[in-house]
Structure 1
Amino acid sequence: MPIISTEDNYLTVLNLFTTDTPAHQEQLLTEMGKIVDAAAYEGWISSTVHAGQDSPGTANLIQWRSGEDLQKRYAGEEFKHRTLPVFREITTGIRLLQNEIVHTCTHPALGGRVEVSPDRDDYTVIEVHQVRDADQAELLKLLGEGQDWLVNVPGYRSHSVFKGLQGMFVEGAFAVVYAQWDSKEAYEAFRDLPHGRKPGPRRTNDERIAELATATDTNTYRVVHTRAAGQ
């Protein structure tokens, strides 16, 4: 199963698709599954497909050996003339985000390993924060080590913070948080806690993040399929 780790030098690509109906989400999952199962690209490490929960859509977390390998995929005729046109027909939004992992944190029970697999029951949350170039480094710090207190929150499993490098169909700098929780209920209890009841460190952190982020969007997911090179 794929592992998210700061010790790896992989390029992590998050392909995020939004759509308007559950039926279109199922079409997306089918098309993504076909691509993942047929993948044999030079430098491709793994792909893990996620199904949207709160809003219809999908996420594909893909690990690549390098940006050069990814660009070869993007330059290919299949990607330009088959893959993108198919997805454009059934989506309301596409973002192909290239990222570098900069921070991971886990509940002690996970032993420091962030595993991504349909064999697990993680309730996954993906946040995308847009930010001014000059503020990206501070935002990454706040989203990462600034939230290590999460280990004491009921239902927390892990969170991984990615520095956005570049993307297709997205403008400007960005940061991504990939978080795992025990359940929908645990995550929503954390998310919906009134600001005045938040512990001091969280309150201060949240306020500064809100000041730095120029836009933020979030969706929740379940992992439904994964495959790695060699399988």
Structure 2
Amino acid sequence: MPKIAADGKNLTVLNLFSTDSAEKQDSLLAAMREIVDAAAYEGWMSSTVHSGQTKFGTANFIQWRSTEDLETRYAGEEFKHRTLPLFGEITTAIRLLQNEVVFTQQKSGVEETEIGPSRDDYTAIDLYGVMEPTQDALVDALGAGQKWLQDVPGYRSHIVLRGLRGRGIEGKWVVVYSQWDSKEAYDAFRDQPAGERSADRQKTDAQVDAFAVWRDSNTYRVVHTRAAGE
């Protein structure tokens, strides 16, 4: 299974696809599996496909050696004339996000973050738009500022990614990729009334409200993964 570390060694790409029906989501997943299973691109390291739960859509968490390798893939005839047109037919929105992992945190006793279909994680991906001058402040609020998450029932881990450049998106962004024991645990955390939240959480909420200019989110189950050489 892919392991996620904030070591600055590789490029992390998060491709988010939105659609409007279960049938189109199934078509997206099938197309993504086909591409992942055939992947042999220079510099490609791994891809992990996610199936949308709260809203129709998919996510692909991809590790690349470098931006240059990814741009070579984007410049290829297959990507421009087959992959993008195919996804364009069955999606309502496409976001291709290049990021760097800048923070990881796990439940106490867990040494590293792994993602893969053999795990039973209930995964949330939260996307925050931000103005460039306050991007680092938002990263800190969502990363080191959330050590208190380790005490939340059902929490497993979270990763913070700083947005670098992307397609289908304007401005800068920050992504939080979090893993939970179950849908019930995540929903209980998400829906906790503001007045019942801890002082630390309320502080984080206030910081995020001050820095984020828009938000989008979905929840997922990991359904497929493959790494180079497999």
Q: TM-score range by the shorter chain?
A: over 0.9
For 1:47, the equivalent position in structure 2 comes to: 47
Given the alignment of the two structures, is residue 177 of structure 1 paired with residue 154 of structure 2, yes or no? Answer: no
SS at match of 2:141: helix
| 1:132-211 pair list within 5 angstroms | 132-211=131-210
- Structure 2 spans left out of the alignment, 5+ residues: none
**TM-score using structure 1 length:** 0.98
| 1:29-68 pair list within 5 angstroms | 29-68=29-68
SS at match of 1:120: coil
Q: Which residue type is aligned with residue 27 of structure 2?
A: Q
Report if the CA contact (8 A) 2:100-2:161 is conserved.
yes
TM-fit CA distance, 1:8: 5.3
How many residue pairs get aligned? The number is 230
TM-fit CA distance, 1:20: 0.1
Q: Which residue type is aligned with residue 194 of structure 1?
A: P
For 1:10, the equivalent position in structure 2 comes to: 10
Given the alignment of the two structures, is residue 127 of structure 1 paired with residue 126 of structure 2, yes or no? Answer: yes
How far apart, CA to CA, are the structure 1 residues paired with 2:53 and 2:9? Answer: 30
SS at match of 1:50: strand
Given the alignment of the two structures, is residue 19 of structure 1 paired with residue 19 of structure 2, yes or no? Answer: yes
The sequence identity of aligned pairs, in percent, is 59
How far apart, CA to CA, are the structure 2 residues paired with 1:37 and 1:91? Answer: 21
Report if the CA contact (8 A) 2:123-2:221 is conserved.
yes
**TM-score using structure 2 length:** 0.99
For 1:219, the equivalent position in structure 2 comes to: 218
How far apart, CA to CA, are the structure 2 residues paired with 1:134 and 1:169? Answer: 21
Q: Which residue type is aligned with residue 193 of structure 1?
A: Q
Deviates more, 1:6-15 or 1:210-219: 6-15
Report if the CA contact (8 A) 2:7-2:101 is conserved.
no
Report if the CA contact (8 A) 2:8-2:102 is conserved.
no
Q: Which residue type is aligned with residue 230 of structure 1?
A: G
- Structure 1 spans left out of the alignment, 5+ residues: none
SS at match of 1:154: coil
TM-fit CA distance, 1:6: 1.2
Moved over 2 A (4+): none
Q: Which residue type is aligned with residue 62 of structure 2?
A: I
How far apart, CA to CA, are the structure 2 residues paired with 1:39 and 1:8? Answer: 23
Q: Which residue type is aligned with residue 93 of structure 2?
A: G
SS at match of 2:116: coil
Residue deviations 1:91-135, cap 9 Å, x none? 00100000000000000232x210001000000000110000011
How far apart, CA to CA, are the structure 2 residues paired with 1:99 and 1:48? Answer: 15
How far apart, CA to CA, are the structure 2 residues paired with 1:28 and 1:155? Answer: 30
How far apart, CA to CA, are the structure 1 residues paired with 2:16 and 2:62? Answer: 11
Given the alignment of the two structures, is residue 106 of structure 1 paired with residue 98 of structure 2, yes or no? Answer: no
TM-fit CA distance, 1:204: 1.2
